[in-house]
Amino acid sequence: MTVFQRVLSILFVWMSTTALHAQQLQAIDRIYDPKVQTVLLFPQVSANPNDPSLALNPPVISLDEQIALQLEFDDLTADYRSFRARLVHCNADWQKSVLNDIEFTYEYNDNPITDYQVSLNTKIPYYHYRFTLPRVKLPGNYLLVIYDERNRNNTILTRRFCTYQNRVAIAASVRFSTDPSRQFSDQQIDLAINYKGYQVISPQDDFKVVIRQNYRDDRVIRGLRPTNVQAFDQVIEYRLIDLSNTMPGGNEFRFFDTRTVLSRANYIERIDRNADHNVAYVQVDQPRSRGPYIQSDDFNGFFVIDHRETGNGQTGADYIETVFTLRIPEAPGVNVYVNGAFNFWELNDRNRMSFDSVLGAYRASILLKQGVYNYDYIVQTTTGQPKVDENYIEGSFSSTENDYEVFVYHRPPASRADQLVSYQKVGVNKRK
């Protein structure tokens, strides 16, 4: 590469960084362009890149393994657009760190997205884009930023992901809450950190522990303080009695199957095959907060994209207007939402339901790509400080099958940013 080319590349990256910083992007999972849909970010752990089950894995990878993260999304403008990708390094609290790009990347931190395909035989046409994320140097939190190459101020989407190196050991377990009043509704996460052989100055203060339920950033425990530090054995224990390590167990997720429109699959009431698009009506739902816990299998809120006729969900699956119906009386003072990973667990106009007085039920219509989806219903108060209640309609049970992740962050001496020094997944009430 010539000196002139290097200068141009550095200038190009500087311009991109300036534009992105000017927007003051939040480090959250969000789609800013309404024409972009079905954003997936997952580890490429299978030899088959078209395996739909890959999307059930969270975007968390080890730097010690040769596994890359794969980004996929659709552009429903049905016109080719040039997109570019950048990475932003964040601390444990998901605030942008002070690191320069060269400190956490191996190459220029600006990449064009050139892998795309056009949808095949779909009523709603789209372009399907794929991008393999470049490897990074440091373990920690990152934000992937996708923006329009022709307008650098136009951010398309942002996605969180994490990389880790297990430098300390985590021993975690999940059980029902030790509080007798919550033992049938909540789950408690106890853990210990063994930091033998790892340099740390003040273990009770330097480690930052984050616990996440079902890969959801809206179900997170932070700020835990250790209950016991065994300095000789180099072990820190978190076995709290103040219930700060306790979370509602929730309920198993509802699901439906739209992999085909030629017949009604699981929990689909009917399908209208219109000339310009298909409409699928999910079976009418009832509240589950009252009554016993019912065991069922789910994806813990995730979804997979698939097309039964072709087996190619990436470009063969169509977009379907999916209608949800929840039969409950009108609830004053709250908004009702149908929610899931398909909406990044955000509560917005896209998934807000409206009460239909004729039906005597809440309804929402959402454009979703064909596949198998998990979802549930959430209410949010409309007066004062908004409060979200997922148990109001779904209920909460300590017998629910859930996945938990434990993240341990530490800022090594002389380091300028937090690093993810240990990561572990632990399940509860697993049945297979």
Question: What is the domain count for the chain?
Answer: 3
What CA–CA distance (Å, rounded) separates 52 from 159? 19
Q: To which H or E segment does residue 36 belong? A: strand 36-43
Say whether both 10 and 85 belong to one domain: yes
Are 87 and 104 found together in one domain?
yes
For residues 240 and 260, state if they share a domain: no
Range of the domain at 48: 3-164
Residues 381 and 415 in one domain: no
Closest C-alpha to 343, from 335, 355, 351: 351
Q: What pLDDT does residue 384 have?
A: 84
Q: CATH number for the domain including 27?
A: 2.60.40.10
Is residue 10 located within the same domain as residue 150? yes
Residues 333, 354 within the same domain:
yes
In a shared domain, residues 236 and 347: no
pLDDT in 10s for each residue of the chain, 432 residues: 443 344 334 334 444 444 444 346 899 999 999 999 999 999 998 778 788 999 999 999 999 999 999 999 999 999 999 999 999 999 999 999 999 999 999 999 999 999 999 999 999 999 999 999 999 999 999 999 999 999 988 999 999 999 999 999 999 999 999 999 999 999 999 999 999 999 999 999 999 999 999 999 999 999 999 999 999 999 999 999 899 999 999 999 999 999 999 999 999 999 999 999 999 999 999 999 988 999 999 999 999 999 999 999 999 999 999 999 999 999 999 999 999 999 999 999 999 999 999 999 999 999 999 999 999 999 999 988 889 999 999 999 999 999 999 999 999 998 999 999 999 999 999 986
Query: What CATH number corresponds to the domain at position 236?
Result: 2.60.40
Q: So what's the pLDDT on residue 7?
A: 34
Contact 70, 384 (CB under 8 A): no
Judged on CB neighbours under 10 Å (0-12, 13-18, 19+), 112 is exposed
- Whether residue 207 contacts residue 409, with contact meaning beta carbons closer than 8 Å, is answered with yes
The token duo for 303 is 């979804």
The answer on 260 and 345 residing in a single domain is yes
**Whether residue 187 is found in the same domain as residue 245:** yes
Place of tokens 């064009």: 112
Which residues are CB-neighbours of 420 under 8 A, at least 6 positions away?
A: 139, 140, 141, 162, 163, 164, 165, 407, 408, 409
Yes or no: say if 272 and 260 are a contact pair by the CB < 8 Å rule. Answer: no
Tell me: do 314 and 289 sit in the same domain: yes
3-state secondary structure of 234: coil
Please give the pLDDT value at position 18: 41
The answer to whether residues 302 and 323 belong to one domain is yes
pLDDT of residue 432: 67
Residues 19, 141: one domain?
yes
Q: What pLDDT is stored for residue 20 in this prediction?
A: 43
Instruction: Quote the pLDDT of residue 17.
Output: 45
Q: How remote is the C-alpha of 215 from its chain's centroid?
A: 6
Q: State residue 228's pLDDT score.
A: 94
Of 114, 133, 164, the one marking the end of a domain is 164
What is the C-alpha separation between 67 and 288, in angstroms, rounded? 40
